[in-house]
Chains A and B, each alone.
Chain A
Amino acid sequence: MDFLRVLDEATPLLLQGLQMTVGISLLSLLFGMLLGLFTCLMSISKNKLLKGIAGVYIWIVRGTPMIVQAFIVFFGAPQLIQQFVPAFKIDAFTAGVITLSLNAGAYLAEIFRGGIQAVPKGQTEAARSLGLSKAKTMVKVVLPQAFKVALPSMVNQFIITIKDTSILSVIGLADIVNRAKVYVGKSYQFFATYIFVAIYYLVVISLLMIVSKYLEKRVSYDRKG
């Protein structure tokens, strides 16, 4: 075990991997949030078809492991599409973003739905009775309160998504875990290398937690004091 040697040799590789991990996480969370909000609005709408589509999507994502989803997006779907478009190709990064976004989107949709449904019905009725439209009521009254309720679970999902990027190393995404594997294959420095990898994850997720604590404080209008 030679921490200093590993630190010296592996750091550039791991930092490249970290960049990939953070990049793909941010991109997927952005798409996941949009997808989640959209799906959530579908699932609380009165239209049975929209509700059904949202339900099936959430059901499939929750009912299958992400590693299988990643294999389907990266290996399975291209095989199918190539029968119609022979030149079709997908790279690990694109497949990774699609898999993670679909995954985060489904879970976030449920988190948003829970937040919206936690806002008392009287809030909506008061806004509507003042003449606010349905959409305005949603934007000005329901969503700000739902956001506060949903924030802790949202942050939890962000953390899960960041860590789940490591699963994508199985489709060859050059994330931090994949880089570490490659380095370990040459150097056999398992312990030191993976300790460093763990520390990198800890740092990233700690930063996220600091941001979320700040946000939670900012929206804690109904705490005494």
Chain B
Amino acid sequence: MTEKVKVTALKKSFGKLNVLNGIDVSIAEGEVVCVIGPSGSGKSTFLRCLNRLEKATGGEIIIDGYPILDKHININKVRQQIGMVFQNFNLFSHLTVKKNIMLAPIDSKKLTPAQAEETAMQLLKRVGLEDKADAYPHQLSGGQQQRVAIARSLAMNPDIMLFDEPTSALDPEMVGEVLQVMRELAEGGMTMVVVTHEMGFARDVADRVIFMADGVIVEEGTPEEVFGNPKEDRTKEFLSCVL
């Protein structure tokens, strides 16, 4: 399988605070990787480094062959291949659902306005929200907003999707609908990196689970290995609290 993401000795500090202390990861095409760990372990920061929303302090990140930490790289072009879904949805509140999805494809000239509209409607159908095309984000529930946010990322036809705790801000009864969309995406072969507290999702959907603590990867393996037979004490301690 082709390597999609290669991270070597990734370091990130905010002032004197070291958040990432050397992360090495390689992610293959079509692989679904779930990153779990206690809050403050650096898992969101790690994810945000992958599309340079956070600027890494050291190390190397290669995505689709592009060394994205290189100053000369056109990061906007690279980001068009990397979708990102946020904890707080971050839909553009001044635009309708449809316009939210159409903005980036039109701006990047990937699609004409007519094509973008068609794509938007197809994607909305896929996430079950075609009747909300002309609604504004505030008129939707959290779960619906997050599904639109996923559709918005997919409109750019990315080949990697990053999820930053996509269900953490949702009411419990809405978690399922968002996870379902993600599950379908995974089954469709999308390369996904998911920072999550949903252990059930990680166990069912992930090809690999990474457990992070204190800015390093403590343990990684298949869900069976990490959840069923954790090797490190730190992992056992964490899992005993959340399972």
A interface, CB within 8 angstroms of B: 120, 122-123, 125-133, 136, 140-141, 144-145, 148, 219, 221-222, 224
Q: Is the interface of A mostly helix, strand, loop or mixed?
A: helix
Inter-chain contact B79/A129, CB cutoff 8 Å: yes
- Using a CB–CB cutoff of 8 Å, the interface residues on chain B facing chain A are 51, 53, 76-80, 82-84, 86, 88, 90-94, 103-104, 107-108, 136, 138-139, 149, 152-153, 156
CA distance A130 to B155 in the complex (A): 10
Closest 7 CB pairs of A and B: A131-B80, A126-B90, A130-B104, A122-B90, A129-B84, A131-B79, A131-B76
Q: Which residues of B contact A148 (CB under 8 A)?
A: 94
A219–B94 alpha-carbon span in the complex (Å) = 8
Cβ–Cβ contact A126 & B51, under 8 A: no
Cross-chain contact B108 with A131 (CB below 8 angstroms): yes
Give bound CA distance, A148 to B136, whole Å: 15
A148–B86 CA distance with the chains assembled, in angstroms:
24
A-B pairs with CB below 8 Å: how many?
71
Query: Which residue of A129, A148, A219, A224 has the most chain B CB atoms within 10 A of its CB atom?
Result: A129
Shortest B55–chain A CB gap in Å is: 12
A112 CA / B32 CA spacing, docked (Å): 43
Cβ–Cβ contact A130 & B103, under 8 A: yes
Q: How far is the CA of A120 from the CA of B90 in the complex (A)?
A: 9
* Contact between chains at A130 and B86 (CB < 8 Å): no
Query: Which chain B residue shows the least CB distance to A122?
Result: B90
**How many angstroms from the CA of A147 to the CA of B185 in the assembled complex?**
37
- Residue pairs across A and B with Cβ atoms less than 8 A apart, 16 shown, are A122-B90, A123-B90, A123-B92, A125-B53, A126-B152, A127-B92, A128-B53, A129-B79, A131-B76, A132-B103, A140-B107, A141-B94, A221-B93, A221-B94, A222-B94, A222-B138
Would you give the shortest CB distance from B104 to chain A, in whole angstroms? Answer: 4
Q: Which residues in B have their C-beta under 8 angstroms from that of A140?
A: 103, 107
Which residues of chain B have C-beta atoms less than 8 A from A127's C-beta?
A: 92, 103-104
Output the least CB separation between B224 and chain A (Å). Answer: 33
A130 CB contact (under 8 Å) in B136, B138, B156: B156
